[in-house]
Amino acid sequence: MFDFKYFTPTKVVFGKNTESQVAELIQEFGGTKILIHYGGGSVVRSGLLQRVTDCLDAAGIAYVTLGGAVPNPHLSLVYEGIELCKKEGVDFLLAVGGGSAIDSAKAIGYGVANPDFDVWELYDYKKQAKGCLPLGVILTIAATGSEMSDSSVITKEEGLVKRGYSSDYSRAKFAIMNPELTMTLPDYQTACGCTDIMMHTMERYFTNGGNMDLTDALAEGLLRTVKDNAVILRDDPSNYDARAEVMWAGSLAHNGLTGCGNDGGDWMTHKLEHELGGLYDVAHGAGLAAIWGTWARYVMADCLPRFKKFAINVMGVADSGTDEEIAIAGIEAMEDFYRSINMPTNLRELGVEPTEEELVEMAHKCAVGVGGEMGSAKVLNEQDMLNIYRASM
């Protein structure tokens, strides 16, 4: 078992109409001039943005707004947000949306709090942050877990480079989670979110470094819950309880809970998907689903006990046959599940057909991005990455 740190200071306010508490939460954490950062028009069309600004107006809290955060949020918008914050004297960020708005807001917060260097240098492994503007979240998509995590992912348009940066400074002060706000999501996005949530836990689960039975028990319980509720939501998207199960699972899947006592996880499915996301702007969850099965078969032999345990405790595979047979049955059951919620299990189903040249380029960028090689289930080098990309076609 590995030593660990666990720090989840975010105050979660979970349930119906909780967005009405936004002003008092901002005041509790000292915000006086707010940047409300959101994504596309749905936050406007649904009336949520209006309800939020009404709350702030009623409480006499000043704010400016910045929309336009997109999936795989862009660095150019981050720069725009930083300038706006400086110009307006913003001292608190409020992200209204999903991972795109939250990650973009985190990057803006880093930029304002670290004025002596370009914020991209954090994501390019050249600098460490010394702070971040305080951040609150109103969550509208259950997926990335960014509302309780220390991480953010930004895409630099030049060269389509997608990179992550993590520090405790960026953990949100509060997260308002009203499952009703996720009900208008397209079914495809709901399924992508469920996939992302499961993958955050699975990345931590498939390791060769360290073991904590309690962490595994929590992870397996979380995976079973999301799997069951993803199917419920496929058939009944307005099911409040299922929305709530998935939403809360999304936060717990990425706040650190499901990795305590091990080496931090594998994360290569994410890294492989990041290059896809940089190049094609595909939905993150769908990209993960499209890669995972190929990755799993490629690394399975090097992490067999955990693939077996996953098969039995998460996918309900019977404990009979060889370890390899059980492990393979678990991977197949996971792929069946993905297909059942209309997620892809290869690049073709994802709707992208990279040329051999592009596969080589993605593998190279991925290898550079991880510093040469990476992985815990199995350490992958550039050739391994290329092999997986090719096999996932």
CA–CA separation, 47 and 41 (whole Å): 10
Pick from 93, 154, 191, 222 the residue near its own copies by CB under 8 A: 222
- Contact between 195 and its own copies by CB under 8 A: the answer reads no
User: What residues have CB less than 8 Å from 120, skipping those under 6 apart?
Assistant: 75, 154, 156
Q: Closest CB to its own copies among 4 and 79?
A: 4
Q: What is the smallest separation between the CB atom of 190 and its own copies, expressed in angstroms? A: 17
Rounded CA-CA distance 343/287 in Å is: 9
Pick one of 116, 214, 235, 319: the residue that binds its own copies (CB under 8 A). Answer: 214
| From 38, 165, 206, 248, residue interacting with its own copies (rule: CB under 8 A) | 248
Per CB under 8 A, does 319 bind its own copies? no
Taking CB under 8 A as the criterion, which residues in 17-36 touch its own copies? 18
CA 338 – CA 192 distance, rounded (Å): 10
Q: Is 1 in the site for its own copies (CB under 8 A)?
A: yes
Asked whether position 261 contacts its own copies by CB under 8 A, the answer is: yes
Cβ-based nearer residue to its own copies, 15 or 41: 15
**What is each CA distance from 148 to 169, 252, 253, 257, in whole angstroms?**
12, 8, 9, 11
> DSSP string covering 251-297, please?
HHTTSSGGGTTBSS---HHHHHHHHHHHHH---HHHHHHHHHHHHHH
Least spacing, CB of residue 17 vs its own copies, in Å: 9
- Residue 102 in tokens: 């939250």
Of residues 59, 62, 217, 301, which one binds its own copies by CB under 8 A?
217
* Residue from 19, 150, 203, 245 binding its own copies (CB under 8 A): 245
Shortest separation between residue 25's beta carbon and its own copies, angstroms: 11
End-to-end CA distance of the chain: 37
Decide: is 260 part of the binding site for its own copies (CB under 8 A): yes
β-strands 62-66, 33-38: how paired? parallel
Q: How far is the CB of 244 from its own copies (least distance, A)?
A: 5
Q: How far is CA 62 from CA 36, 83, 214, in A?
A: 10, 17, 45
Binding stretches for its own copies (CB under 8 A): 1-9, 11-16, 18, 211-214, 217-218, 220-222, 224-225, 228-229, 240-241, 244-245, 248-249, 252, 257, 260-261
